[in-house]
Amino acid sequence: MQELNRDRIPFPPISEAIKRHFSLGDLSLRRFGILGEDREVNFNQPLRPYLEVEILECCTCDGNDIAPNRDFFWSLELGTRIECLLAIATIPGRSEFTIPLRCLNPECKQSIEIDFSMEEFSNLQAESKSDTGTEIEIGNQRFSIRKPTGFDQLYWLKQSFPDEKSAVQTMLQTLLTEEQKATFDPAALAGENWVQMFDRAMEDIDPLVNFKVGVNCPYCGKQDSHSIDLGEFSLQRLQNAQKYLLETIHRLASRYHWNEREISELPAWRRDYYLAIIDREENR
């Protein structure tokens, strides 16, 4: 994925069907935390999917600087949404970034840092793409399921489930092909471990949603599989970018007495230049 410029990159690949449905041309993602509208994003929303879609809507545009319809973002597969958030969170300097972990050995618990690149995650996402669904086996049944989208997520959030099995059963039914939905028999989901089998299948077909990585602790030598919430990691970086923007506005307003709108309309490089001047004067 090549950079268009320092603060903008191409949108990850999406299906031609979605492009036609929403009449889309080439899309791009921009860096977050540089425009005035970025200060309006509320990171304290109770439901994370709404926050993630709001950020994507804020940072996506076509060649005419127009964002697609919001339904476009809800129609994206969850893995694609995470890939987009990661991409935005690592602009600029996208070559490598570090994710902090902690050793799972209770006798160690040392902090560990793992280096990744956006290219690794983009390649992983590309390898998992399928336009025909994925065959999985649960118990004695074979199912053809597709990857979940934001609209699926909205549907699940509106439901009320008495237990985990009921929730997972609804998820499975939602992702079935129309033909299998008509013949689906919940009673055939026998055994105590079918929920775990479904979870493993979902990890395989959508690796960025339930991302796991094997790590050898450099301190105790123990190897463990670490689960990493890539969406949460991205949101933390994006919230830090917003905090930096707000702190920049505060410092410039305090020194030059410009209002919030005037400061937000300045290009990011000019804001940084004024901050550098303030720093030099304060450090004399």
The whole-number pLDDT of residue 139 equals 64
Residue 146 confidence (pLDDT): 87
Spans of all domains in the chain: 8-125+229-238, 132-205, 240-282
How far is residue 99's CA from residue 224's CA, in Å, rounded to a whole number? 16
pLDDT tens track, the chain, 284 positions: 333 467 889 999 998 889 999 999 999 999 999 999 999 999 999 999 999 999 999 999 988 888 999 999 999 999 999 999 999 999 876 667 899 999 999 999 999 999 999 889 988 888 877 655 677 777 677 888 889 999 999 999 999 989 888 898 899 999 988 888 887 777 767 666 788 888 888 888 888 998 999 999 999 999 999 999 999 999 999 999 999 999 999 999 999 999 999 999 999 999 999 999 999 999 88
Specify the amino acid at residue 156: W
Question: What integer best gives the mean pLDDT of the chain?
Answer: 89
Which residues touch 86 (CB under 8 Å, ≥6 apart)?
118, 121, 208, 230, 233, 234
Q: pLDDT tens digit string along 164-209?
A: 888 988 999 999 888 888 877 777 676 667 888 888 888 888 889 9
**What six digits make up the tokens of 96?**
């490598």
CA distances 34 to 37, 83, 257, 264, Å, are 9, 20, 20, 8
pLDDT (tens digit per residue) in 241-269: 999 999 999 999 999 999 999 999 999 99
Would you say 49 and 157 are in contact if contact means Cβ atoms under 8 Å apart? Answer: yes
Shortest CA distance to 83 belongs to which of 34, 147, 21, 36?
A: 147
